[in-house]
Amino acid sequence: MLELKEVCFTIQKDGEPVHLVNHASFAAPRGHFMAIVGPSGCGKTTLLKTIAGLNPESEGSLWWEGRNLSEEGDLEPWEIGYVPQFSIAYDELTVDEAIEAATRLRVKCRNTGELDQRIDRVLEETGLAPIADRHIRVLSGGQKRRLGLAMELVSDPKLLLCDEVTSGLDPRSEREIVHLLHDLSRNDGRTVILVTHSLAHLELYDSILVSHEGSVAFHGPPSQLTHYFSVDDSEEVYPTLAKQSGTNWQESWEKHREAYYQKLTRTRELHIEAGIIKLPASEEPRGEEEEEAKKTDKKKKNETSPPRLPGIFSQFGTLLARRWKIFFRDRTQVLLQVAILLCFPVLVTFFAERGKEPIKRLSDIPEENIVLELQSRVEVREDQIRVGSAVSGMIMFEVILLALMGSNNAAREVAGERKIMEKEKFGGVRPVSYLLSKLAFLTCLILAQSLWMAMFVEFFWQFSGSFASHVSFLILVNASITAICLAISSVMKTPEQSSLLSIYLVGFQLPLSGAVLALPELFETITQPFVSAYWAWSGSIEALGGNIHTAVDVITETELSPGNVCFFALCAQTMVGIIVAWMGMVRHQWDN
């Protein structure tokens, strides 16, 4: 049984406490189908989220199967299913693939046969078997709501919470969803609670809870709804609610609650006796053979232990495989990545020809003619400026383009799927598994982009210094920008905000690096540690050595840092980005 005792959820508004859930008390037994109804903004979804544990109760207590959840912790992921109003699946996947991924993430199956059996059962239960191979993007609204239910049923939850899953559906689809939820509540004592503003199909519910201004105005049999509010039709309930405050309605309800609950209890007993509600074997009424039934039930309980969550690396493998599948099915993203790989290195090679020119050196033998010696020094200086500018510009161009690639890789990686991530976390997906899958996916992109850039440019411009060092700095600048943009994506509220901030980040890399225009010394000291482009450019120049290093040093007033310092600076930036990304993934951001 689910029971709420004087539960409040309170926020601060203008320095004053506001009860979004105001001392709510009600009970919903096993095998019960209940609707939470009320006008828009009355606190229906807030109440449902409080039951789910997404909103921590400020006062009161929640009980489930005799456990005080307020003291003993939230429900286990396999015990509860939460179906939000928004879509919780990727359009690129098929129905079967989405349910398989949900199963692999939430349930540890012993073998493939058990996995397939669980998937097939859910498909049949929700009526999705005929369209299992259909892509999600072509599903109707009603089919997507069924899919949302199916993805929650994979763990066979005993408490199923549904938030406005009938909203926006045509009357036929709404009726089908309500009938489906009714049927689900009749199996194995599952408690189903649906938040809806619709007052249609009341006869299918076991009880109706009417919410008004965060307070419980009524909770009883559907047949008693119009009687309690003294109206002729259920559609008149909402206008009647507006005549009094939520607190007044709740006080009135508390005076009559016991009488209506007695009717609920009697109706439930009749449904159990008639076999309409099928409870688990452990809760069925027992006759003279009670002791034997208890023994049988205990044996069954030992044989059918509750499902266990998969391990961290099992979840990681499922998430990574799904990410690659989504990537290759997104033609726009694939074409963009191919275009970047082909075009960006070509842009860099425009500088290659001037960067290969030899630099004249002063003769070790001093000129007897002072005019010739000065002329020779001027020619060397001109060569240094010309070649140094070309080499410095080419390396900085590589760095900035790779920074753009890193930004493109990660700017929307988390923010773009925030709701799905939060839903999967609620279902038992560990943030560390999610982070590892993102890092593995992005690492592949980083290596492909950076190595291709380095090898392509090397083909047209034979790198005179340590090519391995140059490649390592290109990989690191891509990694650091990718990690920082992943962090931005994990803490921003929307993908648009994340993309915009990531673009600004890359845009400021060039001027703040000091490679083009030297910064004021004080400003340079403050900004330089945070500019990835500076460390990658400086490290690559250091790797050139010899005359090229001297030539670049001639054309810039920015002091070059040693290669090992550049290496550790980029590694530090990458690690900071990963840590912040993990913190953002762990933080609860359901409403963002």
- Cα–Cα distance between 198 and 237 in angstroms, integer? 11
Do 396 and 437 have their domain in common? yes
Clarify whether residues 142 and 190 are in a common domain. no
Number of folded domains that form the chain: 3
Domain boundary among 97, 122, 156: 156
Do 136 and 180 lie in one domain? The reply is: no
Residues 6+ apart with CB under 8 A from 21: 7, 8, 9, 43, 46, 47, 50, 55, 57, 214
Give residue 119's pLDDT: 96
Can you give the CATH number for the domain in which 206 is found?
3.40.50.300
User: Mean pLDDT lowest for which of 44-53, 456-465, 481-490, 566-575?
Assistant: 456-465
* Same domain, residue pair 198 and 333: no
Q: Can you tell me the mean pLDDT for 286-298? A: 51
Does residue 116 form part of some domain?
A: yes
The answer, yes or no, to whether residue 582 has pLDDT greater than 80, is: yes
Residue-level pLDDT at 545: 62
Q: What is the mean predicted confidence (pLDDT) over 28-52?
A: 92
| 3 state SS of 157 | coil
**Is residue 319 included in any domain, yes or no?**
yes
Report yes or no on 380 lying in a domain: no
Same-domain status, 454 and 327: yes
Model confidence at 298, pLDDT cuts 50, 70, 90, reads very low
**Would you say residue 306 lies in a domain?**
no
Query: Both 460 and 570 in a single domain?
Result: yes
Residue 115, number of CB atoms within 10 A of its CB: 17
Per-residue pLDDT of 482-530, as tens digits, reads 999 999 999 998 999 999 999 999 888 878 777 666 667 777 777 788 8
Per the domain annotation, does 385 fall within a domain? no
Q: Is residue 24 a contact partner of residue 49, using CB atoms and an 8 Å limit?
A: no
Inside any domain, residue 209:
yes
Give yes or no: residues 214 and 340 share one domain. Answer: no
Based on the domain organization, do 136 and 185 belong to the same domain?
no
> Catalytic residue at 79?
no
pLDDT value at residue 95:
96
Considering the candidates 152, 164, 174, 413, report the single residue annotated as catalytic: 164
338 and 484 within one domain: yes
54 and 140 belong to one structural domain: no
Domain assignment present for residue 295? The answer is no
**pLDDT tens figures, 14-27:** 888 888 999 999 99
**Mean pLDDT confidence for 114-127:** 94
Query: Which one is predicted more confidently, 513 or 119?
Result: 119
Residue 193, pLDDT > 50, answer: yes
What's the pTM?
0.86
Looking at the fold, whether 105 and 174 belong to one and the same domain comes out as no
Its domain, for residue 521, covers 312-359+390-586
* Dist. CA 8–CA 63, nearest whole Å: 14
With 0-12 / 13-18 / 19 or more C-beta atoms within 10 angstroms meaning exposed / middle / buried, residue 110 is exposed
Average pLDDT on 454-480 reads 82
Question: Could you tell me if residue 324 is inside a domain?
Answer: yes
Q: Residues 108, 25: one domain?
A: no
| pLDDT on residue 293 | 53
